[in-house]
Amino acid sequence: MRAVRPPTLSMTTVRTRFAPSPTGFIHLGNIRSALYPWAFARKMKGTFILRIEDTDVERSTPESVNAILEGMAWLGLDFDEGPFYQMQRMDRYREVIAQMLDQGLAYRCYMSVEALEVLATQELSLIFMDVNMPVMDGHETIYWLLKNHPEIKILVLSMYDAESLIHLIKVGVRGFVKKGAPPSELKHAIQSILTTGTYCSLTVTSRLFGLMKDLGTKNSYWGTLILNDCEISFLKFVATELTYKEIAQKMKISPRTVDNYRDALFLKLNVKSRVGLAVYAIKSGIVTLNF
């Protein structure tokens, strides 16, 4: 019987790449980043690829692209494939983004550029916002804030409609102020959230008790309110004896996607294990136990 030697690096095709951003002139750091993959590809008789990261459309310029190409030519860093321009592949990126949105692996950010700049440059303790905004989706914006900036407390201006109120409480909003409330109540709400962590007026409290009474028997409503269809399907399988690999096969997705669902639900539902996910699925009515 003949032994088969496992593949080694010398038996595989080596492909390396250099991906500069054309936002300025080529510099020593760029050269260093290009030299190593070029030298390795040449030593291994592989392929050296040039990719232009021109996704920063405001700062990328043709002059910078020419400077990169001329600098590499002058240094003798010849490439075998390219240059490939990232902005010419936008159709492919949109296709992948659509797939990720459909699978629940991504969500849209509805925040304005100005709001994102504030978050990036200033330390905020509390944000007061209306969920009914003219352009952005208030609920999606709140969920994005809570996921990416959990240290920021959110106070919501709301009319207390049933679905909105329950949804926002579940995802982690700290308090509510009714539209038309006097400035004194707003001041009290802000002080309360900053000192105690929450604010719940008598109006909100009575409304919550009413909602709990009306919806208390509708477990499936509570359980599915903040979950998309893929997450609900995943939770149904989690409550079985199937392994994660078998769940991936049943849902016709990759094991890595299953891991992403699991980790996202750990964060969204504030649980730490598969048992916690299964308990949530049962309590919320997503899964029914038959004895």
Domain residue extents for the chain? 13-90, 123-216, 220-283
Q: Answer yes or no: is pLDDT of 287 > 50.
A: yes
SS3 label, residue 45: coil
Beta strands in the chain, from DSSP E residues, in sequence order: 15-18, 47-52, 81-85, 126-130, 153-158, 175-178
Is the Cβ–Cβ distance between 183 and 128 less than 8 Å? no
The residues facing 113 across adjacent strands are none
Is the Cβ–Cβ distance between 158 and 164 less than 8 Å? yes
The position carrying tokens 């690829």 is 49
Is the Cβ–Cβ distance between 287 and 278 less than 8 Å? yes
Burial of 18 (0-12, 13-18, 19+ CB in 10 A): buried
CATH 3.40.50.300 is the classification of domain 13-90: no
Query: Are the folds of 123-216 and 220-283 the same?
Result: no
Mean pLDDT of 157-163: 59
- Which CATH architecture group holds 123-216? 3-Layer(aba) Sandwich (3.40)
pLDDT of 237? 92
Beta strands in 118-215, from DSSP E residues, in sequence order: 126-130, 153-158, 175-178
Q: Answer yes or no: is pLDDT of 70 > 90.
A: yes
Q: Answer yes or no: is pLDDT of 203 > 90.
A: no
Is the Cβ–Cβ distance between 257 and 244 less than 8 Å? no
pLDDT of 222? 45
pLDDT of 225? 47
SS3 label, residue 233: helix
Mean pLDDT of 216-243: 69
pLDDT of 27? 85
220-283: what CATH class?
Answer: mainly alpha
Q: How far is CA 242 from CA 71, 171, 234, in A?
A: 56, 28, 11
Mean pLDDT of 212-229: 52
Query: Treating both helix axes as pointing N-terminal to C-terminal, what angle do 202-215 and 162-171 enclose, rounded to 10 degrees?
Result: 100
Of 26-30, 34-38, 177-181, the range with the highest mean pLDDT is 34-38
Report cis status (omega within 30 of 0) of the bond before 83. Answer: yes
Mean pLDDT of the chain: 79
Of 172-176, 207-211, 240-244, the range with the highest mean pLDDT is 240-244
